[in-house]
Structure 1
Amino acid sequence: MQVTETLNEGLKRGYAITVTAAELDDKVTEKLKEAQPDVEMKGFRKGKVPMALLKKQFGPRVMGETMQETIDGAMNEHFEKSGDRPAMQPEVKMTNEDWKEGDDVQVEMSYEKLPEIPEVDLSGVKLEKLVVKADDESVDEALQNLASTAQDFEAKDGAAEDGDQVVFDFLGKVDGEAFDGGAAEDYPLVLGSGSFIPGFEEQLVGVTAGEEKNVEVSFPEEYGAENLAGKAAVFECKIKEVKAPKAAEVDDELAKKFGAEDLEGLKGQIRERLEAEYVGAARQVMKRRLLDELDTLVSFDLPPSLVEAEAGQIAHQLWHEENPEVEGHDHPEITPTEEHNKLAERRVRLGLLLAELGQKAEVEVTDAEMTQAIMNQARQYPGQERAFFDFVRQNQQMQQQLRAPIFEDKVIDHIAEQAQVTETEVSKDDLQKAVEELDEE
């Protein structure tokens, strides 16, 4: 076998691989000899089939397997000797397409190698960690929000307003006939909640207790029940009560509704939750600033194929964000801009650097961390958690999508441990401003 370099330009590499006919024939014969003792054929005892007959009967199939194994072996040997790590799957093609038995096999292999990542002195990296304490004002504000979600309603005089609760009986009819599911008694409806079909709740604004009112609406064209989709309907409504919202009192009873023993216990839980949110936000700010600094510390050639693929993905994602009405991928070809390419170069550079630093630090994602990540994702599919869990377990690409951010965060933590980190206490507003600046960059 001969391996000859044909391209060495930047990170691009090309090789011509020649496997001689004699080498292939020897390997085919070796495989057939290994199988010969177990071969049975009419007219011969088991294990006594002549080699010439075996080659005639099984040679073509074994030849195909041998060619593939030999080429794969040559590639693996090359990567072991050269130390090259291909950025993407190498492109391999047979150049003598008119090959016939007895000919040498000629193959071309090309790829882009991953670059050598320069050493980075992480001890010289300086980071600022923002620290925010949950003050009493923030805790009280959160308490009031909780009280509003636990609101009750009390009877009122006068007309119903948006936000009020109307208790009523209703009977829905289409073409003068009542339909299944179109009737209820003492139904409590909060006006403005959007829980009824469009146009219904607005017509109840202004009603009073004891009033009867016909509400005329049309079911949406995409309504779930086909017999009602797009149909005009009349709902005969009898108003029983009109109630105004009343926020719950901020007291021990409210605390118990949210699982705390008393009000002070609830305040403590809120304070912990707020500070956990602040820590998460501060970490995002520190992570971005760390990546910005790392981006200035290293410089190396980037595999064009990785940059091109990343730029395409960025452009595609941003296009869909700007055109949310297009759910599928039946749209014009999206060409990355210079801005997309610059962002792709940054992401690829930092991705390769973090991967290198993580590998050297022997950072690993544990099975427990993967299981937790899968469970977190599975919660987005109520009732289908087990099916999602099984799907991920069988899908390597999905596993990698879940593993990658965990690995990155662990590498970031590793870098932060070696960097010079100073803590700066700031206000909630200052932290919020820092987070908003991340979105603007």
Structure 2
Amino acid sequence: MQISIDQSEGLERLVNIALEANDIQTKVDAKLMELGKEVRLKGFRQGKVPKNILVQRFGQHARQEVLGQLMQDSIEQAITENKLEIIAAPEVIKADDTDNGGFEFQAKVELMPQIPEIDFSSIKVEKTVAEIKDKDIDGMISNLQKQKQDWKESKGKIAKKDLVTIEYSAKGKGVTYPAEGTEKMGVLLGESKVPAELVDALIGLKANEKAEVELDFAEDFNVAELAGKKAKMSFEVTDVRKAKLPKVDEEFVKSFGVESGDVEEFKADIKKNLERELSQSVNNAFKLNALEGLRKACKDTLLPQSMIQKESQHMALQEQQRAKQMGVADAELPDAAKFENDAKDRILNTLIIQDIARKQDIKTDFAKVREQINDIAQTFEQPEEVIQMYYKNQDLMASVEQNVIEAQVMEWVESKLDVKEKKKSFDDVMKPAA
């Protein structure tokens, strides 16, 4: 047997193998001899079928079986002897019998990318530092109050944040809406989609009062006939309601699952949840920054085209599925090529994390796996059921284990990078500037 390796494009290698006729024939003869002991043919006793009959009846089939096994064994030998780290099964691209009864074939393999040694201390990364303040807890409580607020009818003047109902008609160049009579519309003052001119016209009015205002309706205005048009709106205020927030008392607290009804316990729970959200956001942001720096350090790393193609196709499918989930039933599969750069980043991220874990002997901490599953479960009404669901689902468990090992690697990475801390408020972290 003769083996040679040719370099192709990038990480592709071509494995050329020539099998000798004698080696093939020896194994074919052995295969036929083995077959001859078992085969039953009319006119011959079992085990007594002449060799020439076996060759005539089963020779080609025996040769195909032998060649299949020899090809597999010889490729494995070539990979082992040449110390090739491949990412997928070899692909046979050429195969031919030779004139002297031998057999030659060529197989394509792709090598595992090699991550270079990284000088971690030279990579500068910013990490956000933030903590939960009393005002953050108060802000969350205020949001929860708004979820349970009542709208009380008011005879007073309209103010910002009031809920107002108007009956209106609008006329402009090429538009009259509605065609006859008036249309009702609810307006929550302070919502971004409400035209500012309408808000200004409403403030200070009372129920049953009338007014007019010139409006430039936005392109995404919820009335198609008026969207993107300029028109004069004539309206009458038919109802004014002001928000009445519930008191933060025992009843309010119990409505959010705090059985004791204790306000301080409620605040402690809120703080714990906010700290978890803050930690996740800070760690995710740091991970993105750190991986960007690590990718730059590995920018010359060759990536297998098969991995890039597979990941690009996966990302395209994900986008199509998201579109369908948002109601676009006939969403087409986007061109995978537009995801190629993001796919390369994802692949390189994974390879870098795997390389660090291997070189630093970082193993999955299953105590942290259990902790993460418990944290996830606590966000549901029936946490025990969620925990059991995770432990029974291999895909869910694999996802959590992957998250944990990545977090462990990033913790190690953080200790090696040149990290500069930057203090921010909770709001700045959770509501970054657009």
Please give the range of the TM-score, normalised by the shorter of the 2 chains: 0.5 to 0.7
How much has 1:286 moved relative to structure 2?
A: 0.5
User: What code does the residue aligned with 1:79 have?
Assistant: I
Contact kept? 1:6, 1:14, Cα under 8 Å? yes
Distance 1:402 1:27, change over 3 A: farther
Structure 1 residue 67 corresponds to structure 2 residue 76: no
Q: Distance in 2 between matches of 1:286 and 1:91?
A: 40
- Extract unaligned runs of 5+ from structure 1: 164-190, 193-242
For residues 296 and 273 of structure 2, what CA distance do their matches in structure 1 show? Answer: 35
**C-alpha distance in 2, partners of 1:363/1:32?**
52
d(CA) in 2 for partners of 1:66, 1:83: 25
Q: Distance in 1 between matches of 2:251 and 2:11?
A: 68
Instruction: Letter of the 2:303 partner, please give it.
Output: L
Q: C-alpha distance in 2, partners of 1:390/1:256?
A: 31
Distance in 2, Cα, partners of 1:24 & 1:370:
53
Question: Which residue of structure 1 aligns with residue 278 of structure 2?
Answer: 278
Q: What are the within-5 Å matches in structure 2 for residues 26-425 of structure 1?
A: 26-31=26-31, 39=38, 41=40, 44=45, 48-49=47-48, 52=51, 59-96=59-96, 103-149=101-147, 247-257=245-255, 258-261=257-260, 262-298=262-298, 299-314=300-315, 326-327=328-329, 331=332, 334=335, 336-337=337-338, 340-365=339-364, 405=403, 407-421=405-419, 423-425=421-423
The Cα offsets for residues 52-99 of structure 1, whole Å up to 9 and x where unpaired, read as 266566554443333222212222222222222334543213432xx5
- Match of residue 17 from structure 1: 17
SS of residue matched to 2:301: coil
Cα distance 1:130–1:373, how it changes in 2: closer, same or farther (>3 A)? closer
Partner of 1:216 in structure 2? none
Instruction: Tell me the residue number matched to 2:217.
Output: none
RMSD over aligned Cα atoms: 4.8
Letter in 2 for 1:307: I
User: 1:40 and 1:16, CA in 2 relative to 1: closer, same or farther beyond 3 A?
Assistant: closer
TM-score by length of 1: 0.60
SS of 1:336's equivalent? helix
Contact 1:88/1:306, CA 8 A, preserved across alignment: no
Counterpart of 1:175 in structure 2 is none
CA distance in 2, matches of 1:142, 1:251: 15
Letter of the 2:74 counterpart = A
Q: 1:66 to 1:436 in 2, by over 3 A?
A: farther
Distance in 2 (alpha carbons) for counterparts of 1:385 and 1:6:
53
Which residue identity lines up with residue 359 of structure 2 in the other structure? K
Task: State the shift of 1:34 in Å.
Answer: 6.0
Q: 2:17–2:105: 8 Å Cα contact kept in structure 1?
A: yes
SS in 1 for 2:132: coil
In structure 2, relative to structure 1, the CA distance for the partners of 1:312 and 1:63 (3 Å cut) is same
Look up the equivalent residue of 1:272 and give its one-letter code.
K
Cα 1:255–1:402 change in 2 (3 A) is: closer
Q: 1:136 to 1:333 in 2, by over 3 A?
A: closer
Superposed displacement of residue 116, structure 1: 2.6
Do 2:125 and 2:293's aligned partners in 1 also have CA atoms closer than 8 Å? no
C-alpha distance after superposition, 1:388-437 (max 9, x if no partner): 989965x8xx997776555444432332244354554421133135x567
Q: Quick check: 1:131–1:278 contact (8 Å CA) kept in 2?
A: no
Larger deviation: 290-299 or 64-73? 64-73
Change (3 A) 1:7 1:295: closer
- Aligned AA for 2:254? K
Per-residue deviation at 1:305? Answer: 3.8
CA distance in 2, matches of 1:263, 1:311: 50
Partner of 1:182 in structure 2? none
Give, as a single letter, the amino acid of the residue that structure 1 aligns with 2:140.
A
Q: CA deviation at 1:134?
A: 1.6
- The share of aligned pairs that are identical, in percent, is 21
* Structure 2 CA distance for partners of 1:84 and 1:27, relative to 1, 3 Å: same
2:425 corresponds to: 427
2:365·2:404 contact (CA, 8 Å) conserved in 1? no
Query: Partners in 2 of 1:264 and 1:354 — Cα distance?
Result: 42
State the AA in 2 paired with 1:292.
Answer: E
Cα pair distance change 1:436/1:10, threshold 3 Å: same
Give the whole-Å Cα distance in 1 for the aligned partners of 2:317 and 2:411: 31
Change (3 A) 1:291 1:130: same
How far apart are residue 264 of structure 1 and its match?
0.5
Q: Is the 8 A contact 1:94 1:105 kept in 2?
A: no
Task: Measure, in 1, the Cα distance between the counterparts of 2:334 and 2:266.
Answer: 54
For 1:91, the aligned partner's letter is E
Gaps of 5+ in 2: 156-161, 165-185, 188-240
Contact 1:92 1:110 in 2 (8 A): yes
Is the alpha carbon distance of 1:5 and 1:100 closer, same or farther for their aligned partners in structure 2, counting shifts above 3 Å? Answer: closer
Give the superposition deviation at 1:289. 0.9
Give SS of 1:95's match.
strand
Structure 1's 392 and 372: CA in aligned 2 closer, same or farther, altered over 3 A?
farther
Residues 32 and 51 in structure 1, CA contact (< 8 A), matched pair in contact too: no
